[in-house]
Amino acid sequence: MVGSNRLSSRIVFLYIPLALFTIFLLFPFYWMLIISLKPNSLLLNTRVNPLYLTEFTLRHYRYLFENTDFPRWAWNTAVVTFGATLLSLTCSILMGYAL
């Protein structure tokens, strides 16, 4: 009896808040995906539920890859990130050795 009570209290006080917190953290990514797949006519339409798709389009992604320099922007971001990480790691190793 004590074991089942302990399990149910663990579910209530640990797993349910963790699940709610996970949903709270992942919701912006879900929202970005849903908005990016909606056609322009539904983006500001208040008569449809904004939390799920009623129509689906890849027009925004096609525009992103065909009419902008997005691959170059992504490459520049990757180069800067890699360089900053390498510089930070090198400095940290040298400073750690001095200690």
pLDDT digits (tens, 9 = 90+) for 7-52: 787 777 888 899 999 999 999 999 999 999 999 988 888 888 888 8
Q: Give the ranges where the chain is alpha helix by DSSP (H).
A: 2-10, 16-37, 40-43, 59-67, 70-98
CB atoms within 10 A of CB 38: 20
Q: Full-prediction pTM beyond 0.85?
A: no
Distance CA 33, CA 56 (A): 11
**Structure confidence at residue 97 (pLDDT):** 86
Distance CA 18, CA 81 (A): 31
Residue 4, pLDDT > 70, answer no
**Structure confidence at residue 5 (pLDDT):** 73
